[in-house]
Structure formats: structure tokens, C-alpha cells
Amino acid sequence: MRSHLLNDTTAEHYRRSVTEGVERVAAKLAATDRPFTGVTVDALAPRITAIDLDEPLHDTTAALDELEEVYLRDAVYFHHPRYLAHLNCPVVIPAVLGEAVLSAVNSSLDTWDQSAGGTLIERKLIDWTAARIGLGPAADGVFTSGGTQSNLQALLLAREEAKTDDLAKLRIFASEVSHFSVQKSAKLLGLGPGAVVTVPVDQDKRMRTVALARALERCRQDGLVPMAVVATAGTTDFGSIDPLPEIAELCEQFDTWLHVDAAYGCGLLASLKYRDRITGIERADSVTVDYHKSFFQPVSSSAVLVRDAATLRHATYHAEYLNPRRMVQERIPNQVDKSLQTTRRFDALKLWMTLRVMGADGIGQLFDEVCDLAAEGWRLLAADPRFDVVVAPSLSTLVFRYIPAAVTDPAEIDRANLYARKALFASGDAVVAGTKVAGRHYLKFTLLNPETTTADITAVLDLIAGHAEQYLGDSLDRAS
Ligand SMILES: Cc1ncc(COP(=O)(O)O)c(C=O)c1O
């Protein structure tokens, strides 16, 4: 069994095993002609259930053969140009290389004595990101597992910096289309059920600052304490960007923490064309960035950044066995002092390899391409009488709904769109997402693949129309 341990004596075994895995994935990617096979849970589950985990195969090739059956064959492939659903990006090769290196060396970024250079690399990437945002000389931050964790940590700091210890009095302001992790964070932070005040959005799905001002004023009059405003730079559904400069003004006026959730919009930090769309982000007290959304990084890769490094002390705990207080005096850089996690992956290495091989402009160019594609998709949808499209994209998302010529009942139109999404998924020809707008069911393209073309968009729209019409035809047959 020791031959499976990765060490100085097993380098050849390691090279062969990993190469074999890489070959399989490369062959799979090359041969994948659809984003999904359409496999059902009922078809796939028995294959996995049938495997006896107490009966090992003792052979890498056999295990990879089995993996083909239970995973690779039916995986949902984000690299495919017709995967248009959620906030998943195709990944860049330098980052995948970084992933291979980081898992083999297996550094843990909690303490210097478990990561050495890794700690410094992560710190440099945090400084780089903070400088791109413009957070100023006292900025700091830490890599996290994702936007959910980044938002949670930012709001923890905001809670600790708030002007009261009375949790029942604290209020967080976020738009009605902000990410649900804000609500979850409030719950985890012990705030009351009504702690998150939902601020309405305008027709472009951006927070209404007049409504925010009114809500902040009411909060003050009611003797409550505004703990934070969460501005979203790239909402999950619409990619809309809240008016950051105006929100920053209000935060200053009401002496409130400004958190900018740029989990999606952070790609603009590298943009060559559209960086100005997130002007105002530099005024935040904290920022969430998800490199695994718009920097083409493999999951996970995210960070929370803060304007004032001192606020990270609210996440600090000194354990004698790991990061005793004396290490601070000795100036030993232990990232665990800033993190909610203890053992932590060296995810930063993926971004490091990306910047060293491609450069930030390379990433920015790819992100600009998907923003341009979305603008083109918007023009196509707006000119197509078969569809109703919701907002012109600020990033790379399109929300729309098929409107059959002969049907006026909104509930029937809902059902036709729901059916079209399901049927498309079952066919595997394309994968699209869905959401609700004003209580009605809509479909969503999240365009994060620069390989997707306008021809792909047109073809998928035709497929959607075809499935929706099929549903309506069958529905008429059922009625008659
Ligand atoms: C705006 C926004 N914030 C936060 C998140 C949560 O990020 P993660 O899925 O990385 O936890 C998402 C996820 O889609 C998001 O769109």
C-alpha cells in the first residue's frame, strides 16, 4: 500500500497515474459534442449504488474505466459553448496546472510553517487584487472557498464594527436581487429574522438609491443601527451593477459599512474596456471577488478584501498549538489569523499561474469578449418577436422568456418556458438556467464562455422555441 503514497520513491507511479487521468480528461473534452448527455437521476443512481466501496479495484486504469461510467460520461461540461446556465466558467489551462501542483504539494495555508512561499504568494495576490480595486494602502484580505464565505466574513467584520452589541437592533440593506448568502449570513451571525432590509430595484435591476436613503433614514428614526449596506456588482440573475458611487455616499452619510459583492462583476477588474462600470468599488469597506466566476479559475477560488487590515482581527483566534500570540510579535505571517477556515487549500496558486502565464489583460480580454457577446445576444433577443428580454446586460447575463404568438395566458406561457428548459436539459443539446421575474418564469443565459458564438445563441433560442411550441401543441391536444 505504501506505493500509493506520494513521495521520493513513487515519483514514477505519480507521473503515470496523473498522466493517465489527464489523457482521459483530454480525450473526453475533445470528444464531447454536447454539454450534457441528458442522463436522469434514475438512470445514473443505480450505477453508483452498485459500487462496493469496500471492494477496491487495486488498479488505476480500472478505476478510471469505472469513473467513465459513473462520472465523466455524464458530467455537465462547462467548457462546451452551449453550456449557458449558471455562473460557471470554462477554466484556463495555467490554473488547471496550478491545481495539479497545489494538490500534489498539498500546502495548507493556515500557517507559515505549513506553507512558507504559499503564504507569501497568497498575500501578494491579495495586494494585487486590492490595488486593482483601489482600496488603499491599509488594505488586506484572504482567500476563501467562495462568494458565500466571503460575504459571511465581510458581514462578520461589519457586525463587529457596528455601533451596538445589541444584535436585535442591527440591520443589513441589500437589494431585492442580491445574493441569498446575505440572508444566510445574517442568520449565521445571530441577527433577527427581519435583519435584512430588502431595497427595491429600478427597471435595470439596480438598487434604487432613493429607496435606500429612505430605508436608512427610517432605520435611524426607529432607533435601529444600520450595520452594512451590501451593494452587488453583478447580480446573479441579471448581472446588474448597483450604483456604487451613490451608495458609497449614503454609507458615508449614515456611517455604515459598505460591502460590495463583486463575486460576478470582479472580472471587470481585469477588463480592458469596461472597468468603469464598477467605478465606486474603491470606496468599499469590504469586497467579495470570485475568481472562479469571472477569472476563468477552477472551483474554488474566491477572496474577501478589506479597506482596513485591522478589521480582520475580528476573525482572529490564537491557538497555542497553531498560531500562538507570540508569533505576531515575531512577525510570522499566519494566514489563519485572518481566515474563518483553519486547514485551507492553496487556491491562490491557480490565479498566480494564470497571471504569470497569461497576464491580467489576457483574463480581461476573455471577460470583455463574453460581455460583448451578451450585448450581441441582447440585440438578437430584443429584435426577435418570439421573446421578451428583461434588461440590457451590464455583464454577460440575458434573462428572457418565450412568448408564443397564439397564447395570452401567462400561466400557460410559464409552463411552456419551464417545459422548454427541462426538455433542453434532457436532450443535452444545451443547458440554460431559469429564474422568476415579477412572479413569472423566465429563462437565463449566463455567458461566460468566449467560445460561444452568436450562432450558438441563435441555435439555442430556436431549440427553446421548438420545445415550447411542442409543449403548447401537446397541451392543445390534451385539451381537445
Ligand atoms: C452575486 C453573488 N454573490 C455570491 C455568490 C455566492 O458565491 P459562491 O457560489 O462562490 O459561494 C454568488 C453565486 O452565484 C453570486 O452570484
Q: Which residue has the cell 453508483?
A: 48
Bridge partners, residue 68, by sequence:
none
Residues 406 and 326 in one domain: no
Question: What is the CA(402)–ligand 1 centre distance, in A?
Answer: 27
Q: Which residue has the cell 441563435?
A: 458
Kind of pairing between the strands at 397-402 and 387-389:
antiparallel
Where residue 367 sits, what CATH number does that domain have?
3.90.1150.10
Question: What is the CA(291)–ligand 1 centre distance, in A?
Answer: 11
Question: Which of the listed residues 357, 384, 419 is the one where a domain comes to its end?
Answer: 357
- Measured by CA distance, the residue closest to atom 16 of ligand 1 is 236
Residues 352 and 382 in one domain: no
In this prediction, the residues of the chain whose per-residue pLDDT falls under 50 are: none
Provide the number of structural domains found in the chain: 2
- Is 165 inside a domain boundary? yes
Provide the grid cell at 288. 467579495
Would you tell me how many other CB atoms lie within 10 Å of the CB of residue 37? 17
Question: What is the CA(455)–ligand 1 centre distance, in A?
Answer: 29
- Measured by CA distance, the residue closest to atom 5 of ligand 1 is 147
CA 262 from centroid of its chain's CA atoms: 9
Distance from C-alpha of 202 to C-alpha of 216, rounded to nearest angstrom: 18
Q: What does 213-264 look like in DSSP terms, one character per residue?
A: HHHHHHHHHTT-EEEEEEEEBS-TTT--B--HHHHHHHHHHTT-EEEEEETT
- Is 205 inside a domain boundary? yes
Residues 144 and 209 in one domain: yes
Residues 471 and 419 in one domain: yes
- Measured by CA distance, the residue closest to atom 14 of ligand 1 is 236
- Is 60 inside a domain boundary? no
Q: Which residue has the cell 503515470?
A: 16
Provide the grid cell at 243. 450604483
Closest ligand 1 atom number to CA of residue 236: 16
Closest ligand 1 atom number to CA of residue 290: 10
Provide the grid cell at 87. 455562473
Which of 179, 232, 240 maximizes ligand 1 atoms within 8 Å of its Cβ, making it the mutation to test the pocket?
179
Of 309, 351, 314, residue with least CA distance to 333: 309
- Is 44 inside a domain boundary? no
Question: What is the CA(425)–ligand 1 centre distance, in A?
Answer: 23
Pair 454, 376: CB distance under 8 Å: yes
Pair 228, 158: CB distance under 8 Å: yes
Closest ligand 1 atom number to CA of residue 149: 11
Query: Which strands sit side by side in the sheet containing 170-175, from one edge to the other?
Result: 140-144, 302-306, 286-290, 257-262, 225-232, 170-175, 196-199
- Is 184 inside a domain boundary? yes
The CA-atom distances, in angstroms, between 248 and each of 43, 139, 260, 270 are 52, 17, 10, 22
Of 355, 224, 239, 242, residue with least CA distance to 297: 355
Residues 273 and 378 in one domain: no
The CA-atom distances, in angstroms, between 430 and each of 244, 292, 462, 467 are 35, 21, 11, 12
Q: Where are the alpha helices (DSSP H) in 32-105?
A: 41-49, 60-67, 93-105
Distance from C-alpha of 268 to C-alpha of 283, rounded to nearest angstrom: 16
Closest ligand 1 atom number to CA of residue 147: 7
Query: Which strands sit side by side in the sheet containing 397-402, from one edge to the other?
Result: 387-389, 397-402, 440-446, 433-437
pLDDT of residue 479: 74
Residues 311 and 373 in one domain: no
- Is 52 inside a domain boundary? no
Pair 402, 417: CB distance under 8 Å: yes
Residues 303 and 285 in one domain: yes
- Measured by CA distance, the residue closest to atom 6 of ligand 1 is 147
Which of 87, 205, 448 maximizes ligand 1 atoms within 8 Å of its Cβ, making it the mutation to test the pocket?
87
What are the pLDDT digits (tens) for 434-445?
A: 999 999 999 999
Closest ligand 1 atom number to CA of residue 235: 1
Q: Which residue has the cell 395566458?
A: 409
Question: What is the CA(151)–ligand 1 centre distance, in A?
Answer: 9
Closest ligand 1 atom number to CA of residue 302: 10
Of 194, 153, 200, residue with least CA distance to 338: 153
Contacts of 154 (CB under 8 A, 6+ apart): 228, 259, 286, 287, 288, 304, 306
Question: What is the CA(179)–ligand 1 centre distance, in A?
Answer: 6
The amino acid occupying position 227 is M
Residues 197 and 283 in one domain: yes
pLDDT of residue 474: 85
Distance from C-alpha of 364 to C-alpha of 87, rounded to nearest angstrom: 17
Residues 219 and 278 in one domain: yes
Q: Helix (H, G, I), strand (E, B), or coil: what is residue 450? A: coil
Question: What is the CA(290)–ligand 1 centre distance, in A?
Answer: 8
Q: List the domain range (segments joined by +) for residue 386.
A: 361-479
Residue 97 buriedness (CB in 10 A; 0-12 / 13-18 / 19+)? middle
pLDDT of residue 184: 98
Residues 181 and 308 in one domain: yes
Question: What is the CA(263)–ligand 1 centre distance, in A?
Answer: 6
Compute the half-sphere exposure of residue 208: CA atoms within 13 Å on the CB side of its CA: 11
- Measured by CA distance, the residue closest to atom 15 of ligand 1 is 236
Closest ligand 1 atom number to CA of residue 234: 1
- Is 30 inside a domain boundary? no
Distance from C-alpha of 133 to C-alpha of 153, rounded to nearest angstrom: 18
What are the pLDDT digits (tens) for 172-222?
A: 999 999 999 999 999 999 999 899 999 999 999 999 999 999 999 999 999
Would you tell me how many other CB atoms lie within 10 Å of the CB of residue 6? 15
Q: Which helix (H) or strand (E) holds 419?
A: helix 410-427
Residues 352 and 374 in one domain: no
Of 238, 236, 230, 234, residue with least CA distance to 258: 230
Question: What is the CA(239)–ligand 1 centre distance, in A?
Answer: 12
Angle (CA) 132-78-467 rounded to 5° is 125
pLDDT of residue 9: 97
Q: What is the pTM of this model?
A: 0.97
Distance from C-alpha of 242 to C-alpha of 235, rounded to nearest angstrom: 8
Compute the half-sphere exposure of residue 25: CA atoms within 13 Å on the CB side of its CA: 11
Closest ligand 1 atom number to CA of residue 87: 14
pLDDT of residue 156: 98
Q: Which residue has the cell 472562479?
A: 292
Q: Helix (H, G, I), strand (E, B), or coil: what is residue 305? A: strand
Residues 148 and 227 in one domain: yes
Question: What is the CA(262)–ligand 1 centre distance, in A?
Answer: 9
Question: Which of the listed residues 328, 357, 386 is the one where a domain comes to its end?
Answer: 357
Q: What residues line ligand 1, using a CB cutoff of 6 Å?
A: 87, 146-148, 151, 179, 181, 232, 234-236, 261, 263-264, 290, 302
pLDDT of residue 127: 98
Where residue 113 sits, what CATH number does that domain have?
3.40.640.10
Q: Which helix (H) or strand (E) holds 356?
A: helix 348-357
Closest ligand 1 atom number to CA of residue 299: 10
Closest ligand 1 atom number to CA of residue 151: 4
Question: Which of the listed residues 357, 377, 403 is the one where a domain comes to its end?
Answer: 357
- Is 403 inside a domain boundary? yes
Distance from C-alpha of 413 to C-alpha of 425, rounded to nearest angstrom: 19
Question: What is the CA(258)–ligand 1 centre distance, in A?
Answer: 18
